[in-house]
Amino acid sequence: MENKQHLIALDLDGTLLTDRKEISPYTKQMVVKAAQDGHIIVISTGRPHRASIHYYHELGLDTPMVNFNGALIHHPRDSKWDALHNPMPIRTAHKIIDASMELGVHNVLAEVMDDIYLDQYDEQILQIFQDTQNDPPFTIGNLKNKLQEDPTSLLIHPKEDHIHQLRRHLDDYHAELIEHRKWGAPWNIIEIVKKGMNKAVGLQKVAYYFGIPADRIIAFGDEDNDLEMIDYAGVGVAMDNAIGELKSIANHVTDTNEEDGIGIFLEHFLKLQVKSV
Buried b (16+ CB within 10 A) or exposed e, 222-258: bbbbbbbbbebbebbbbbebbbeebbeebeebbebbe
> Dihedral of CA 240/125/114/147: which sign?
positive
CA–CA distance, 129 with 126 (Å, rounded to integer)? 5
CA–CA distance, 21 with 192 (Å, rounded to integer)? 23
Q: Starting from the edge strand earliest in sequence, which strands make up the sheet with 84-85, in order? A: 65-67, 72-74, 84-85
The catalytic residue among 11, 13, 119, 222 is: 11
CA–CA distance, 243 with 216 (Å, rounded to integer)? 24
**Strand pairing of 217-221 and 235-238?**
parallel
Helix (H, G, I), strand (E, B) or coil at 151: coil
Verify whether residue 119 is a known catalytic residue. Answer: no
Residues with catalytic function? 11
